[in-house]
Chain A
Amino acid sequence: MALLTATDVRHYFGGLCALAGFNLALEEGELMGLIGPNGAGKTTVFNLITGVYRASSGSIRFKDTELVGKTPHQITALRIGRTFQNIRLFRDLSVLDNVRIAHYARARYTPIEALLHLGRYRGEERRIVDDSRRLLSIFKLERLAGETAKNLPYGMQRRLEIARALAIGPELLLLDEPAAGMNPNEIDQLMDFIQWIRREFRLTILLIEHQMKLVMGICERIQVLDFGETLIEGPPEAIRSDPRVLEAYLGEAPVA
């Protein structure tokens, strides 16, 4: 059974139809790409899955749970993590706190225990710190634990965003243009890295990307969106050679 299923999902912004009948069946462990020209509706798909917007119609199921109608924190607590196209870190907070905040739903203590710093508070906080530091060290950020997030260089901010998304303990990870603003060398590293975290954290990954090198290089399956509609879906080889894809990208020919 698929881990994530979207059935005939539609979404309108006022009169604008951003998504006209989106379907998806993401198998557990899969690494899938979502591509398409600007404004195609890719980020909207992420926002609908994670509950930022509520789908105008259709159904999105994660395992056995219907996601449409749930709040973002409920959906995230089901273990769906995501990053953002435009980095959305907690800029004025420390690198460590950015990651610790994402442990919110998994910490098991009550407001009373928090107010008195008693009971499970200490053990849980200890565990959160240890987990967070471990994540930071995987991302080579542990030396910057006390640094304010906004002071990190761009590439590190991107890494921190992924670290933070992993801190919610995801089974499904949604990456929105993780390679944006990276040079070819950095993209190579990112490709290896995504493959590595996928194995290490047993993730199912859905990623949006304009960098064809990355998409074609690591995705097992790709869906192409255009004007809110699915143009074609298939393995990278099929997508690469499909004339409809080139046409959709008209002018901004994909970097092969």
Chain B
Amino acid sequence: MSRPLRRRWDWLLEQRWLLPGLLVAGLALSFAIPEYGLLNRYVQMVLMYVGINIILAVSLNLVNGFMGEFSLAHAGFMAVGAYTAALLTMRVLPVAEFPALFPVAVLAGGLAAALLGLVVAVPSFKVRGDYLAIITLAFLMIVKSVIENIDAVGGPRGIPGIGKLTTLPWVFFWAVAVVWLVRNFVYSRYGRGVLAVREDEIASELMSVHTRRVKFLAFTLSSFGAGVAGALFAHLLQFISPRVFDVIKTTDILIMVYLGGIASIGGSILGATLYTVLLEILRPSTVAALLSWLPAVVFDPLNEHFIRHLGVWRMVIMPLALVLVMLYWPRGIMGLREYRGFIPRLDREAHRRGDPQGGRRDGAAHRD
């Protein structure tokens, strides 16, 4: 960017009205798009998946990025949220008469996942690193097989016919809510504690950080996010089964997190958006359309062996992509950096160099 442009950009980012403005505009758009059909239904659906994936990535980043652990359980917590909310809207809450009850179901999904997160955290945080990864993987498998064995929730067949209650405004609302909560958590003593744990757990303890509590809180909040996303997901797809929440689902979320960058909320939003759009482009029909200009000699065998089986190939490509990103780009796009709008004013001013006032009183003293 050229310098004047850069400066104008900086000026824009400094404005107090920017974030509220974007929020209001976003909310208005989320209502207007479906109302006036500004985008076709397919694009609307992709947008909703983007929102749900943002919730998933931002919340997982708390554990895998900010805390530096490697949890594989996210799809499991998502399943808990999805099943809880789906059962509530189908069997308990009269959502047909009162659609306004939907957020209650979503919240319940989030809380159920959070509660289970607390339970899983107990054994998980007795260990670190590889062992934690194994325990969370085991948990993911347990959730799946428990659901498969409960006939009341459809067993392996899952639950069809869930009401399509997830709408663009609701996705927008929940994405903003979860991002806001995670951001607030990150910029508090607990969030700094989580970062300290990633750096050096013993040193954190010796700087008075209650590392166990901090880890529990992070894990619980992270599970809450997964539960909320699961609830929205169930009422968008309108069908859930244990197979939907397998390790491949976790892998998807992991890629979003590591691609976007660890310990960065902005990064996760970026990662989730890029990855969701990329996956849409990589659907067999789209790829076939994109490559249809190739001569038939090349296209036909390619189509026969690869494009038409892209669904299966995903199981190979995605884990491979995850490994490659983690090995060669461990920090991702925005690793350990943050979009400035997310950083509280106090934090930004306190970090300013050479400011002996330490950013006293809302920057009035040093507006340049």
Contacts and interface: CB of A to CB of B under 8 A. Distances in A.
B206 A117 contact: no
B208 A77 contact: yes
Nearest to A50: B206
A101 B203 CA distance: 10
A2 B293 CA distance: 86
Given A52-B202, A73-B211, A101 B352 contact: no
Interface stretch (A34-42, A91-99, A223-231): A91-99
A142 B351 CA distance: 9
Contact of B350 (A96, A114, A164): A96
B200 interface: yes
Contact of A137 (B181, B192, B336, B356): B356
Contacts of B206: 50, 52, 72-73, 76, 82
Contact of B205 (A71, A109, A144): A71
Which of B187, B206, B217 has most A Cβ within 10 Å?
B206
Given A137-B356, A145-B350, A76 B196 contact: no
Interface stretch (A3-11, A122-130, A152-160, A237-245): A122-130
Interface string B185-210: 10111111101100110111111111
B199 A91 contact: yes
Given A52-B202, A97-B195, A115-B185, A104 B358 contact: no
A129 B346 contact: yes
A114 B185 contact: yes
Give the most central of B181, B185, B189, B195: most A CB within 10 Å.
B189
Interface residues of B, number: 39
A96 B93 CA distance: 49
Contacts of A92: 199, 336
B353 A93 contact: no
A103 B189 CA distance: 8
A137 B211 CA distance: 28
A67 B8 CA distance: 57
B169 interface: no
Contacts of B209: 73, 101, 104-105
Contacts, number: 129
A94 to B, nearest CB: 6
B177 to A, nearest CB: 11
Given A72-B206, A73-B211, A101-B207, A125 B195 contact: no
A157 to B, nearest CB: 13
Contact of A73 (B189, B200, B210, B344): B210
A145 B351 contact: yes
B354 interface: yes
A114 B188 contact: yes
Given A73-B208, A93-B196, A146 B353 contact: yes
B359 interface: yes
Contact of B181 (A82, A115, A143): A115
Contact of A88 (B190, B191, B195, B200): B200
Nearest to A90: B199
B203 A88 contact: yes
A199 interface: no
Given A84-B203, A90-B200, A116-B184, A104 B208 contact: yes
Interface string B320-358: 000000000000000010000000101000111111101
Nearest to A147: B353
Contacts of A145: 350-353, 355
Nearest to A143: B354
Nearest to B186: A114
Contacts of A164: 207
Contacts of B351: 94, 96, 145-146
Contacts of A101: 189, 192-193, 195-196, 204, 207, 209
Contacts of A73: 204-206, 208-211
A187 B342 CA distance: 43
Contact of B356 (A103, A142, A147): A142
A144 B353 contact: yes
Given A114-B184, A133-B358, A72 B192 contact: no
A208 interface: no
Contacts of A107: 189
Contact of A93 (B185, B195, B210): B195
Interface in A62-80: 71-73, 76-77
Give the residue among A76, A106, A115 with the most B Cβ atoms within 10 A. Answer: A115
Given A105-B208, A133-B358, 7 more contacts: A76-B207, A101-B192, A103-B189, A104-B192, A129-B350, A145-B353, A146-B352
10 smallest A-B Cβ distances: which pairs? A133-B358, A114-B188, A105-B208, A72-B205, A146-B351, A90-B199, A102-B207, A76-B208, A88-B203, A129-B350
Interface of B: 181, 184-185, 187-193, 195-196, 199-200, 202-211, 217, 221, 336, 344, 346, 350-356, 358-360
21 contacts: A71-B205, A72-B205, A73-B204, A76-B208, A84-B203, A90-B196, A92-B336, A96-B350, A101-B196, A101-B204, A105-B210, A109-B188, A111-B190, A114-B185, A115-B185, A121-B188, A130-B358, A142-B356, A142-B358, A145-B351, A147-B353
